[in-house]
Structure 1
Amino acid sequence: MKKFGRLALPTLGASALVIASATAALASATITTADGTPYSGDVRATNLGNVTLTGVSALGSIVTTCTSGTLDAYTNSNGTGGSLKTVNLSGCTNNRGGTTTITAIGLPYTGGQVDYAPVSSGRDSTLTIFAPNPNVHIQAVLTLPTLGIPSLTCHYGLTTSTPLVLDLFNRNNPNRPVITNTHGQGKLAGQSLQRRTSPAPDARCPASVSANGNFQILAHPSGADLQVGP
């Protein structure tokens, strides 16, 4: 497997946006640029405000906050063929006086499904991540000075059969998460990864971790706005 490198722990949530099983059902969406031209190509998600990742264990609540980051991926214009390519995060600390970094194994990773699924006063479309997914392995290394723990290593993945579903918002949607930002957006609202059983888990690691945050989504490197429709 390829190793992607060291990332801040909130990447767990951002990475889940484009990780899916190869057995995904046929997507039902059309991804275009602002002028209506179908778009197949790279996209970049950039966080809008902090991204947080929270887990609870015998150590209590552990919250990691990341202040900046980008995620690069690929998509086809019909909503299929998502591929996670690169992730870069910085300025990440936790509520125990330390830092949290991870190594994501198995990237680039293909998969992902976008569906046009508008909700009144809400989203325009969804991104579904199918589970379980044994190929995704996130190794998180935490320093927890206030707990007297110089290093704690935890391992996470998509281990249950419940898919993850995330909301996506077009740039002209008045209900997009960050209204002052005029681009398409994605929202993490408690989506989770579960602690793996292999390697043998450390009982001090949270059994699961949930992510929260908002992201701007644009074509890359052009920076063009994208739209999801039927």
Structure 2
Amino acid sequence: MNLSDRQRKIVFGVLVVVLAAVGVYLTVASPTRHEPSHRTARPAPVSGGGPAAPASPPQGITAQVNAGNFDIYRLLPFSQQEFATAADTAQKFVAAYGTYRFDEQPDAYAARLRPLVSEQVAQQVAQGFAAPGIRQQRQQEQTVASCTATLDQVRDIGNNSIIFLVTGKQRITKAGGGGDDSKQWAVTVARDGNALKVSAFEPADVGQAGDTGGGGRG
């Protein structure tokens, strides 16, 4: 088919407009068309299976170590204030745990300890105090015990917990007499929300006697 110059110019102009329109469509539509596939291919976050990071990461020491101003707390996952609070909690717990009266109700006993312990430990001590055989014997003997506690040693430090060795010294009075008793405990103080509370305790010579440098006392 023979076209005049004018017809050829018209056809050429139409082709240019069509090609331009196709180019604009491909430029705009292409990212939209492929966007879902990019979202699908992006790997989902994977939670780590290792130990939990400490709530107070150690600051570390970059300068040369000097015995005169060595700050050990820069290497620990607890600040000095947190460490002191944890130690105070462990000591107060042992003193409160070993102080009781034969006529004290289990709920009242647990309430005294509750500010120092996790909910699980609060239930544990309440159940132990209410055990029929123990409670009946204390009532029959009218047992009254007062206890003081001594911090002995740090057994272990974890990212979010510290285990203290604490000795409780009891003065016990009964209807038929009385006496003194001493027992060392391994007390674990752990972060509980924004607080530090006793999360576990057991006699110091249970399971890890070798760590105490001579076992439990009493």
Q: TM-score, normalised by structure 2?
A: 0.29
Q: TM-score, normalised by structure 1?
A: 0.28
Structure showing greater relative contact order (alpha-carbon pairs closer than 8 Å, 6 or more residues apart): 1
Larger radius of gyration: 2
